[in-house]
Structure 1
Amino acid sequence: MKTLLISGGSASGKTWLTRRIMKSIPDATILAQDSFYHDRPSGSAEDRHDFDFDQPYAIDWAEMETALTRLRAQKVADIPLYDFSVSLRAGSERLIPTGDTLIVDGTLVLSQPQLVELADVCVYVRCHEALRRSRRERRDVEERGRELEFVRRQLAEQVFPAHEQFVKPSAQHADLILDAEYIVSDPDSAVRQVLALLEKTG
């Protein structure tokens, strides 16, 4: 199974690009980094929300690597279900691989050598901070029920510092860097570039 890693900053458009690629590869299997946050059942809901989810230590990378490896081998993998409204895991689901393409989506996936080693193609979505800020504020308020003041504090204290420290430098591992504005203005061309790289992997 060919494996495509798609990375970039929070709210840069990674998932949007993934969905556009899915229109060309409808039977692709999707594996999201967001499923693998460590469970933190102890402590208050406020403490859990204040946890820095943008640091690499927030993710169970060993568990994610195991799932990726199983899916690449066309084997069923158990994937955690994460509930962002309460910042806790809510069980798990069995993911059955389909087709011959696995797409792995996440802010930090290119920062993990063990995942990059398993990938056939790595793509990084580059997006300026102002656009990522507006998208993240809207998403967290409308979809995750967060207060705008909390979202803005999280962006300033956690999201953007982690981006500079971990996410942005990981672009060096990308086979292709796509600007967010270009993806939105000409998505078909952006998808063709990704598919062309996958084709070259044989």
Structure 2
Amino acid sequence: MKTLFICGGSASGKTYLARMIMRQLQSATLMSQDAFYHDRPSGSAADRHDFDFDQPYAIDWDEMKAALESLCQGEVTDIPVYDFNVSLRAGSEPLVPEGDVLIVDGTLILSQPKIAALGDVSVFVRAPETLRRARREHRDVEERGRTITFVRQQLAEQVFPAHDQHVEPSAVHADLILDAEDIMRDPEGTVRQVLELLEQTG
């Protein structure tokens, strides 16, 4: 099974691209870095919301690596289910590998050598801060029940600093860098470009 990594800033369009590729392939497996946030049940809800989820220490990389290796072997693998509304894990569910491609999306996957080494093709989606801000504000308010004040504070104090510190520098490890606005203008052409690159790998 080939592995395709899609990396980029929060709300850059990684998941959108991953889903378009999934539709084109018809049969593929999708896994997200977001499933592997450390569980923090002992803290209060306020403490959990204040935790910096954009730093590498927020992710259980060993668990994610084990899941990647298992899926690449064609094995059914239990993947954590993370509930963003309460910032806690909500159990796990089996992921059945399908097709010949495993797509993995996440902000930090190219910043972690032991994870990045498992990718056959790595794509970085680059989006301007204004676009990422607008998308993140809409998503967190509409889908995750956050207040706009909380979202803007989190962006300023955690998301954007972590992006500059960890996410953007990891673009040097990508095989292909895509502009988010180009993806929106020509989604089909973008998918073709990624799949052609994937086909070139052994």
TM-score by length of 2: 0.99
Structure 2 match to 1:89: 89
Unaligned ranges ≥5, structure 2:
none
What does the per-residue CA deviation read over 1:103-150, in whole Å, with 9 as the maximum and x for residues that have no partner? 000000010111111110000000000000000000000000001000
For 1:119, what is the secondary structure of its paired residue? Answer: coil
Question: Which amino acid is the alignment partner of residue 36 of structure 2?
Answer: F
2:27 is the alignment partner of 1:27: yes
Q: CA deviation at 1:12?
A: 0.2
Q: Which runs of 4+ in 1 moved over 3 A?
A: none
- Counterpart residue number, 1:179: 179
Q: What TM-score, normalized by structure 1, do the two folds share? A: 0.99
- Taking the TM superposition and a 5 Å limit, the aligned residue runs for 1:28-177 are 28-177=28-177
Tell me how far apart the structure 2 counterparts of residues 185 and 154 of structure 1 sit (CA, whole Å): 29
SS in structure 1 opposite 2:53?
Answer: coil
CA distance in 1, matches of 2:124, 2:49: 27
Q: Which residue number corresponds to residue 199 of structure 1?
A: 199
**How far 1:23 moved relative to its partner?**
1.4
Q: Equivalents in 1 of 2:17, 2:161: separation in Å?
A: 24
Q: What's the secondary structure of 1:184's corresponding residue?
A: helix
**Structure 2: distance between partners of 1:116 and 1:151:** 29
Measure, in 2, the Cα distance between the counterparts of 1:5 and 1:113: 13
3-state secondary structure, aligned to 1:54: coil
- Which whole-Å CA distance do the structure 2 matches of 1:161 and 1:90 have between them? 28
Q: Secondary structure at the match of 2:117?
A: helix
Q: CA deviation at 1:27?
A: 1.1
Q: Letter of the aligned partner of 2:152 in structure 1?
A: R
Deviation at 1:90, TM superposition (A): 0.4
CA distance in 1, matches of 2:177, 2:140: 26
Q: What letter corresponds to residue 181 of structure 1 in structure 2?
A: E
CA distance in 1, matches of 2:95, 2:194: 24
Separation (CA, whole Å) in 1 of partners of 2:141 and 2:26: 30
Q: Distance in 2 between matches of 1:25 and 1:69?
A: 21
> Letter of the aligned partner of 2:101 in structure 1?
T
Gap regions ≥5 residues in structure 1:
none
2:82 and 2:17 map into 1 onto residues whose CA distance is 22
Indicate the SS of the match to 1:118. Answer: coil
